Amino acid sequence: MSEEEIDDKEIEDFLKFLKVANETIKEKGKMYEFECPLCGDKAEGIKNTYNGHLFAKCKNCNMQIME
Ligand SMILES: [Zn+2]
């Protein structure tokens, strides 16, 4: 496998995670739990009350997003 393919996979995983987080976390300032699309474990996320920025994390596979 070339390095480029690994990067593509990482971006794909990231986007998958972001999509589920975005669909789950609707209300600002509230902590949401959702099933991680990458490992199936429990992930959690929250949307900032002030600026609406999204933060989500899966402790199991260490996927983390910050918008
Ligand atoms: Zn995970």
Mean pLDDT, residues 37-60: 97
CB under 8 Å to 35, separation ≥6 — which residues?
20, 41, 42, 43
Q: Cα(35) to centroid of ligand 1, in Å?
A: 8
Count Cβ atoms below 10 Å from residue 18 Cβ, excluding itself: 17
Using one digit for the tens of pLDDT, what is the confidence trace for 5-33?
778 999 999 999 999 999 999 999 999 99
> 15 CA to middle of ligand 1, Å?
13
What is the 39 CA–ligand 1 centroid distance (Å)?
4
Name the residue ranges covered by the structural domains of the chain.
3-66
Q: Which of 51, 59, 14, 8 is nearest to 29 (CA)?
A: 51
Q: Please give all residues whose CB falls under 5 A of ion ligand 1, grouped by chain where several chains appear.
A: 36, 38-39, 41, 58, 60-61
| DSSP letter, residue 22 | H
Residues 6 or more apart whose CB falls under 8 angstroms from that of 1 comprise none
